Structures are given as C-alpha cells and as structure tokens.
Structure 1
Amino acid sequence: MWPLVVEIALISIAVYLAIAMVLIAWPTPAPSAAPGTATRELDSLVAGGELAEPAAPRHFAARDGAIRLYRVYPGTGSDVLVFLHGSSSDGRYLARLANALVALTGLTVVTPDMRGHGSEPGRRGDIEAVDRQEQDIADLIAVLRTQNSSGRFLLGGHSIGAGLAIRDAAGQEKPKPDGMVLIAPYIHRRSPAARPNSGGWATPFVPRFAGIEMLQRFGIHIFDGLPVLRFAVPPAARDGIETPLYSWRLFASVTPRPDWRDDIRRIDCPVLVLAAERDSIFRSEGYRTIFEPLARATVEVIPAIDHFQLVTSEEGPPRVARWLKEAVR
C-alpha cells in the first residue's frame, strides 16, 4: 500500500513541476503595436518639455557594498522627504515636483534611483534580493542623518515608487517615517484602485508569473530573475537607461506584499494620498476604500489631470504643504 501511495505522490509532484516549467517557458506576449492612453500621455509629457533639470547625482554605500545613486534638493529646514520614482524610469523626472516642494515646505527632497533602474542600476530590470530596496532606504536615511538631516523623516513616491514606500513603512527596516506622501500609489492588481493591465501601461507575463510562484511553494527560486512584466515606454522616454522589463524579484521588491491590506494597516503615521481624476493607469476613487482603515490618512483627487501630470501639476505641492502643516507633528 505505502509504495503505491509514495509512487502516486511522486508522480503528482513531477506533474506539478512539469506544469510549472511549461508555464515559465510559455511564449511572452508581443508588445502592442498601438500605444495605449497612458503611453501617449507620458510621451506627450516628456516631449512637451515640462520636466525640470535634475539635481546632480550623489552616491552612498549600501550595506552590501553597492554604490547607489541619489539626488538632493536642499530645503531650509532639517526635515527630509525621501521620494521614490515610478516604474521603468528613475529619479530625474521628479525634479520639478521636488523643487516645488522645497519652495513651499522647506523640506529637503531626496530622490534615489531604485535598484534595477537608472544610469547605475546594478542589474537592470532585476535585483539580488526582494528586501534590498527597503535596506537601501534605511541605509540612505542613515547617511542623510550624518549630513544634519536630523528632523522629521518623510517617505513617499509616485506610482510604483509609492508602492515601495508602503512596503517599506510596513516592513522591518527602521527608521519608520513620520509621514507619507503617496502620489497615485500602486497597491495590487486586485485592489479597488486597479485597472486591467494598468490601463495598457503594463503587460504581465501571466503564465510565467504563475509558474514561478508554483515553484516557490517548493522553495525553488532559480527562475525569480526572469522578466515577468513589460512597460509600454514611449519613444520620448527612451534614452538608453529606461527599464522596460521587470523580473519577478524586482516587481516584488517595489510593491506591497500580497496581503496588501495588512501592509496598509501597519502604517503608523499620517498619510497623504494624491490621485488624478483622469488617471488611465489606476482607479483613483479606489484609494478612498483602500485607505479607509487608516484614521490618519487623507485622500485627495485632483481634477482635470492624468497620472503623469501629477508630478508637474501646480495643484499638488500646495496640498502637500497644507497637509504637512496640519497633519504631521
């Protein structure tokens, strides 16, 4: 009897693993020939010259010895906002937003390039370990503390960068932020703010996603570095250092955990969520439901702008300044 049971179990495991391997090897979808709404909006934003000149790059040494790039927009006080960029890009496009926040709030705004991105990515489109982004944030804050940024520490981001901010605030690394500024945050593909394929901006390789996660149940991680997601980066945003493909590891490292509701509940500071009425990537009204469990969360939807205009609109920075004065002690 027992040999038969063992044989059936081994056959079942072999079939399971074979299915996982087939899914991983499944052909990836071809890029769309027609750009979606979000892609056209980003193309227009970059080509239109609305972005400011970024600050000069600086560098810090992370705990694993990697040299990481960041930019600083100095304020007049001791408070610092570490603000994270969105998918496929790097911190350069945040310069206009950073300058406006400095002028209105006195904050020093710091925009690091997340690992896997920018001109010094390490592994473009990939990362060594899922928790490395959070470690980098903690290491950067330690460096900033030595440079007299001894006041309040605020954390924020745009789009998937705001997703990483949520992940970091809910994780194990310290210090924890005194406040958070989340602009059109990525939450989860099944959250109330989600649109199918992020409105055409992101194309997931669904079979490969499934196959990799099947193997992970057996502790097999050798395929975690394969690309599983493609972004529809428009021509105007292609300068040779864009990151159009994400591995499973990179995507996991910059997004809230699968139990995203628990990540939200773990945030223990005032939160400002700014969304765009015409966001074609996320459903802005969904943020009210997502952040309802947080008593100190404020959700504001800015009318007549889209997802990418959130970082250039003159509406956003005054809202941050008002919230900072009223909500963050």
Structure 2
Amino acid sequence: MLLPLFIRPYLALLGLLLWGLVSQAQDFRTLFHGNADSLRVYAHQLIDQPAPTVTSAVPAAPDSATRADLGLAQVYAAQACSFTLRDHCHLAAYRYCGPAATTILLLHGVASTAYLYNQTAGLLRQATQATVYAVDLRGHGRSEGSPGDVAYLGQYADDVANLVATIQRKKPGGKIILAGHSMGGGIALRYAQAHPRGVAGLLLLAPLLGQDFFGSAPPAPATSAVANTFMQLHLPRIVGLRLLNSLGQPELDSLPVLFLNLPATVPLRQCSYRATQSMAPEHLASALRAVCVPLLVVVGSRDEAFAAAAVRQAVAASGRGQAEVVDGATHNGIRHHPQTYRLVHQWVTHL
C-alpha cells in the first residue's frame, strides 16, 4: 500500500525516531496537520512491519566463559521468601541476611531472575553488611504475572514502591537502598523519579538510564554486535504504537516490541510495548534531576549494551550523584567485579 503523498515529507523525521529518538516526539498530530485518520493509518503500517531477526542462535547451554561472565555459580546462602503486592500478585525473592540495619532491594535485568543474581546479592551483602532482598520482578522467574508483559505502563516501578513500603513496615526506621542492574537499574531510576525521597540511596549497575538515552549513546560496534545477537527491538512498531498512544489509543500496547534470542524452552522471549516502556524513565535528564538521594552509577568499560563514557557524562551533566567506570568489566561482569564492590563499600559508608 502506497503512503499518501502528504505523509511522505515526514518520513525523514520518523526515520530519526526509529533510531533512538522515539521518546522525544511530544505531539505526533502536528506532523500530520491534525489529520488523525492519516496518522492512524501510518501507525498501523509501522506496527505491521515484520519483526526483527537475528543471524545466529544463542546456544542452549552457555560455555564456561559465558557462565563466568554471567556469574551463574551459586556461591552464597540465601533464604527463599516472597512479597504480596497490592493486586495480590506474589513476587518470589531471596533474602541474604546481614547484621546492619540497612536493607538493599535488588532488581535484576531483562529476562533474568533473582536466582541468577546470587553472586551480586552476596557481594552486596559483604560490601555493605546490609540485608539484601533479590526479587523476581513481575512475570520473571518464580514470580506471578505474564512473562514479558505488565497490566499498564509503569507497573514495574509501582511494584517497587509496594516492595519499599513493605520493607519499611518490617524494619521501621531502617535505611533502604534500591539497587538495580541493566533493566533493573532503569526501573529503579523510574521509581526514584516518582518517589524522589522514597529510599536512602540509589545504586545502578550498567543501568538502562532512559528511553531517550538507549539509542543516543550506543557502544562501540564490536561490542554492540554482541548485544544485538541477544536482543532486537522492533523500532517501527514502537513508533507506530507511540503514534496511536498520542491519539489516546493504547489498545495494542500488549504487542511485543522487544525480542530476545533465547531457547524455545525459556518462557520469557519477548516483551510487550508497555513492559518495554516501563523498563526505564522516558527522559533521562528529567529523571536524574528528580533524584534527591545519594546516587552511584557503575558501568564497565567493555559494556556491550551502553557506552561507558556516555553514561558517566550523562550523570556528570545532571549534577546528581557519581558515575564510575570499571576497567575491563562487561555488561554482566560488572555485577561481580571486585572493583564494583570496593566502590559500593566506599559509597555506603558515606550514606
């Protein structure tokens, strides 16, 4: 189907949106001179584009080097526990008990689980003496919920608010540090934007800082190629769904836009638009400006997903908190690199 002639001049602008500037468009209707019907037609054309594909399959069983980078070995003892959310959804968790009055709530990355963050949680406890709760997010691991989907945009951050309130009731007066890796870091920052003083500190490891940041600061081609074999975004569909949302039509927000190259036996292999949009703040700058508590961002120099220098620059430009680059650490390796926890220990002692 050919596009109407008056739509074609806007393809260049929409092309820019496809390459990481999706979240910066505020009122799509102005692009179409108020013609909502034409905008709707174009949105559906974008939504119906074929899903992206990857050129190589991910092995069903990772090799020893990959397992070491992911930190899959179960090293630290933990107690299984759970939380019940306001909508009666049960989230599974592991508790790593520490002697300090401080509690750390740890959020994992996309398609991962709290079980796979055993080393991260244990090292956090060692570095801080805090009790650490590693939680399976909604739809992940042993938690209830639809894999790769949420009921509405922003539900992950609302779940975090529910978890923080529960911990505060259990340990009144105790400090809570919210920690997150990758997607978990993005959710933590989204929570902090809505609840600027909800926790005592914010610890982000290789975080997805914002929807507008993700496409604007890609890593070097050699490392981004590695990341692209694992994850692909359906960029045309994201733009199309944002077009429909600008018209007040969120009915298709359950469609998948993030595709993960994982074995067929894995239940979470794709994420919906509303889940993907819930993984980080919409705008990084405004989210960082909202942070009113101590903030530490740690990223590896060999991160395959985000450019370390850009992460440090973004945090420095905000005037909020500190950002540190760990030499030689990868996106997942940052979770168990010794330098990460030296930085965490120094940071926590000044909270």
| TM-score class normalised by the smaller sequence | 0.7 to 0.9
Identify which of 154, 170, 186 aligns with 2:208: 186
**1:229-244 map, 5 Å:** 229-233=258-262, 240-241=266-267, 243-244=268-269
2:25 corresponding residue in structure 1? none
**CA contact 1:280–1:306 (8 Å) conserved in 2:** yes
1:216 corresponding residue in structure 2? 245
Deviates more, 1:289-298 or 1:195-204: 195-204
Please give the alpha-carbon distance, in whole angstroms, between the structure 1 residues aligned to 2:164 and 2:170. 10
Structure 1 residues 10 and 47 mapped into 2: Cα distance closer, same or farther (>3 Å)? closer
Identical counterparts, % of pairs: 25
2:174 corresponding residue in structure 1? 151
- Structure 2 SS opposite 1:65: coil
Identify which of 202, 206, 210 aligns with 2:231: 202
- State the TM-score, normalizing by the size of structure 1: 0.85
1:249 corresponding residue in structure 2? 274
Counterpart residue type for residue 243 of structure 2: M
Counterpart residue type for residue 281 of structure 2: P
Q: Tell me by how many angstroms 1:239 deviates.
A: 6.2
Q: Tell me by how many angstroms 1:157 deviates.
A: 0.5
Counterpart residue type for residue 192 of structure 2: A
Give CA deviations for 1:245-292 in whole Å, capped at 9, x if unaligned: 1101111112112x2210111001111111111111110111221111
Identify which of 162, 183, 187 aligns with 2:185: 162
- Structure 1 SS opposite 2:338: coil
1:262 corresponding residue in structure 2? 286
Please give the alpha-carbon distance, in whole angstroms, between the structure 2 residues aligned to 1:319 and 1:45. 21
- Structure 2 SS opposite 1:215: helix
**CA contact 1:206–1:228 (8 Å) conserved in 2:** yes
Give CA deviations for 1:120-150 in whole Å, capped at 9, x if unaligned: 3411110001232222112212222233363
**1:124-139 map, 5 Å:** 124-139=147-162
Please give the alpha-carbon distance, in whole angstroms, between the structure 2 residues aligned to 1:41 and 1:304. 18
Displaced runs of 4 or more, over 4 A: 39-42, 46-49
1:6 corresponding residue in structure 2? none
**CA contact 1:126–1:225 (8 Å) conserved in 2:** yes
**1:267-306 map, 5 Å:** 267-306=291-330
- State the TM-score, normalizing by the size of structure 2: 0.80
Please give the alpha-carbon distance, in whole angstroms, between the structure 2 residues aligned to 1:107 and 1:314. 18
Please give the alpha-carbon distance, in whole angstroms, between the structure 1 residues aligned to 2:153 and 2:65. 28
Structure 2: unaligned runs, 5 residues or longer? 1-31
Give CA deviations for 1:72-131 in whole Å, capped at 9, x if unaligned: 111101111111101111212211121122123111111111222223341111000123
Please give the alpha-carbon distance, in whole angstroms, between the structure 2 residues aligned to 1:317 and 1:186. 20
Please give the alpha-carbon distance, in whole angstroms, between the structure 1 residues aligned to 2:52 and 2:77. 35
**CA contact 1:158–1:183 (8 Å) conserved in 2:** yes
Structure 1 residues 57 and 32 mapped into 2: Cα distance closer, same or farther (>3 Å)? farther
**CA contact 2:137–2:156 (8 Å) conserved in 1:** yes
Please give the alpha-carbon distance, in whole angstroms, between the structure 2 residues aligned to 1:167 and 1:99. 25
Structure 1 residues 63 and 90 mapped into 2: Cα distance closer, same or farther (>3 Å)? same
Structure 1 residues 41 and 315 mapped into 2: Cα distance closer, same or farther (>3 Å)? farther
**CA contact 1:164–1:254 (8 Å) conserved in 2:** yes
**CA contact 1:188–1:194 (8 Å) conserved in 2:** no
Counterpart residue type for residue 316 of structure 2: E
Q: Does 1:71 align with 2:80?
A: no
Q: Does 1:320 align with 2:337?
A: no
**CA contact 2:285–2:318 (8 Å) conserved in 1:** no
2:113 corresponding residue in structure 1? 90
Structure 1 residues 119 and 12 mapped into 2: Cα distance closer, same or farther (>3 Å)? same
Give CA deviations for 1:147-179 in whole Å, capped at 9, x if unaligned: 3363111111001110111100001x4861211
Structure 1 residues 275 and 51 mapped into 2: Cα distance closer, same or farther (>3 Å)? farther
